[in-house]
Amino acid sequence: MPESLSFGIDPITAHAWNKDRTKLAISPNSPEVHIYHFQRGEWKLEEVLKEHDLKVTGIDWAPNTNRIVTCSADRNAYVWTQSEEKKWKPTLVLLRINRAATCVRWSPLENKFAVGSGARLISVCYFEKENDWWVSKHIKKPIRSTVTCLDWHPNDVLLAAGSTDFKVRVFSAYIKEIEERPVSTSWGSKMPLGLMMAEFSNSTNGAGGWVHSVNFSSSGDRIAWVGHDSSISVADASKGMAVCVIRTDFLPFLACLWVSENRLIAAGHGCCPMLFEVNETGKVHFAGKLDASLKKETSGVSAMKKFQSLDRQARTETNDTSLGTLHQNAITSVCLHTGNKANATKFSTAGVDGLLAIWDFNNLESAMRGLKFN
Amino acid sequence: MALNNSLLGWRRLVIDVYNDYNYYLDLAVPPGGPTTLVFFTNKPRKRNIEALKTVLRNAPISSRNQMVKDAALNVVMQVLLSMKSSQIEEAVNALDRDHLDILMKYIYRGFETPSEGSSGQLLAWHEKVHAVAGVGCIVRVLTDKKRV
């Protein structure tokens, strides 16, 4: 049974964990960010961060430097640092965008972060010591529409962005002021800032759909994305940018996450996390639903239930209006909980139903016999 | 005796040519899409499924010409509505995923312009396609840029 925490009735738009997973930052579809702390067996609200004017659209928590970055529809981003009295202090970041920010991600070394926005550009922000402020550099070409999702390559330079112009692009976000020249990778060797290393279309065969989430694998060679046409695709740079798309039978996914070099989780409007596997030739196939639980038992009091439902809802069927999955509404975000992208044991999902669930592969393995977990 | 030679013309007909069996659908479709289709009501069962596969394979998705698309729609509707309810499941199982997506698009377009009894038949098609291809198929009808 996955562990589930309820945060009220508001949808959770974004969530992020601290390094040892004792603290959780969530945004309940409002301009506030709530920080929860796990103390003595329960989650307590520790602090409310109120600085944004409009809905917070993205939160990311840097594990090693312990900084939180939040971005919002009010075209701003704040970097929050914890002072000695354990209070979180915001620092405004000038993104120089004239539309809402949609997503934010710290880079793996946490020296910079990237913000996607409706202004058709990505702002890569780093801290300039001389002036003691956060500076942003823009990646504009050739993005044609809102950037909906971002993910960093493990080398701290390459950035993947999915957009509503049905494309996924890999850019270089190399900031020469703060880092060394990167070594060449399977995506390319020359990486000046803003250079597009690869572009993938989510609209082959005439199908199309906004790209909702993009994720680099732990090695950085593979990139997975999910689109609104219920498809999931994996591109492999080490195999000459070969792409494998599968158009699934489920409702569209909103988030995806690699949990090993060959397995990835996708979750979304179907309210259930799904496991997909990539074999050696690069082909993706569906491996199973991870929410195999919660079939309502029809117990002996069904006659009573029948009359009750007849009285309340004027119908004699006894099946509930609740879904057979843990989440009762769409899952909006998936985060790693324990482990890393090469080998994850737990991951968390948060949804529109205000529920945050932590899924453990060790428990799921026994529930899903017949699947080999390496 | 006067021979009415004009009535002897029928002897030149080779009657076996006009057998039902030899007539088949006009499967050579012009590049713009199928414009005419020759139909015989008692064609064998397998022809139906072949006809369906052909029209779906040649569906003018990339075309910008609305008349071509409408013509293709009429042809597909003819095929769909002429098949018996018992054959629908067999036909759906013979198609692959891409063709099922295109078929679902035609089903929804067919709903837009109902004719006598068409909606009921299309609903039967819809149910069978949904059982095989799931909700993802319907989502792709809605999100696809290239409409049928």
What does the pLDDT read at residue B29?
41
Q: Which residues of A touch B144 (CB under 8 A)?
A: 206-208, 229
CA separation for the pair B140, B138 (Å, rounded)? 5
What does the pLDDT read at residue A297?
46
Q: Which of B130, B139, B144 to mutate to test the interface with A (most CBs of A within 10 A)?
A: B139
Written as one letter, the residue type at B113 is T
What does the pLDDT read at residue B32?
45
Among residues A75, A98, A79, A76, which one has the least CA distance to residue A25?
A79
Written as one letter, the residue type at A280 is E
Q: Is ipTM strictly over 0.85?
A: no
What does the pLDDT read at residue B58?
84
CA separation for the pair B75, B52 (Å, rounded)? 10
Interface check for B98 against chain A (CB to CB < 8 A): the answer is yes
CA separation for the pair B15, A92 (Å, rounded)? 90
Q: Do B139 and A251 touch (CB under 8 A)?
A: yes
3-class secondary structure per residue, chain B: CCCCHHHHHHHHCCHHHHCHHHCCCCCCCCCCCCCCCCCCCCCCHHHHHHHHHHHHHCCCCCCCCHHHHHHHHHHHHHHHHHCCHHHHHHHHHCCCHHHHHHHHHHHHHHHHCCCCCHHHHHHHHHHHHHHHHHHHHHHHHHHCCCCC
CA separation for the pair A29, A12 (Å, rounded)? 6
CA separation for the pair A357, A343 (Å, rounded)? 19
The tokens for B42 are: 């008692």
Q: Out of B62, B134, B140, whose CB is closest to A207?
A: B140
Interface check for B143 against chain A (CB to CB < 8 A): the answer is yes
The tokens for A371 are: 């699947």
The tokens for A58 are: 């993205």
CA separation for the pair A298, A295 (Å, rounded)? 9
Give me the sign of the Cα torsion angle B119, B125, B131, B133: negative
Query: pLDDT grade, residue B51 (50/70/90)?
Result: confident
> What homologous superfamily does CATH list for B33-143?
Actin-related protein 2/3 complex subunit 5 (1.25.40.190)
Q: Out of B61, B134, B144, whose CB is closest to A229?
A: B144
What does the pLDDT read at residue A299?
47
Indicate whether B142 pLDDT > 50. yes
What does the pLDDT read at residue B15?
67
Q: Do B135 and A251 touch (CB under 8 A)?
A: yes
β-partners of residue A155 are: none
Interface check for A286 against chain B (CB to CB < 8 A): the answer is no
Place of tokens 């049928």: B148
The tokens for B21 are: 């069996």
In degrees, to the nearest 5, what angle opens at C-alpha A52 toward C-alphas A48 and A53? 120
First to last CA, chain B: 66
CA separation for the pair A227, A218 (Å, rounded)? 21
Domains and CATH numbers, chain A: 3-367 (2.130.10.10)
What does the pLDDT read at residue B41?
38
CA separation for the pair B4, B22 (Å, rounded)? 33
Beta strand A355-360 with A343-351 is antiparallel
Give this prediction's pTM. Answer: 0.84
Q: Which residues of A touch B134 (CB under 8 A)?
A: 248-250
Q: Do A249 and B139 touch (CB under 8 A)?
A: no
What does the pLDDT read at residue A316?
63
Rounded to a whole number of angstroms, the distance from the CA of B142 to the nearest CA of chain A is 8
What does the pLDDT read at residue B115?
86
| % residues pLDDT > 90 (chain B) | 28
Interface check for A323 against chain B (CB to CB < 8 A): the answer is no
Query: Residue A359 class from Cβ within 10 Å (0-12 exposed, 13-18 middle, 19+ buried)?
Result: buried
Residue A29 contacts residue A72 (beta carbons within 8 Å): no
Three-state SS for A310? helix
- A274-280 CB contacts, 8 Å cutoff, 24+ apart: A274/A248, A274/A250, A275/A371, A276/A232, A276/A246, A278/A222, A278/A234, A278/A244
What does the pLDDT read at residue B4?
63
CA separation for the pair A126, A135 (Å, rounded)? 6
pLDDT in tens, chain A (374 residues): 788 899 989 999 999 999 999 999 999 999 999 999 998 888 999 999 999 999 999 999 999 999 999 999 999 999 999 998 889 999 999 999 999 999 999 999 999 999 999 999 999 999 998 998 999 999 998 999 999 999 999 999 999 999 999 999 999 999 998 988 989 899 998 889 999 999 998 876 545 789 999 999 999 999 999 999 999 999 999 998 999 999 999 999 999 999 999 999 999 999 999 999 999 888 999 998 888 665 544 444 577 777 777 787 776 665 667 788 899 999 999 999 998 888 999 999 999 999 999 999 877 766 555 444 44
Q: Do B101 and A249 touch (CB under 8 A)?
A: no
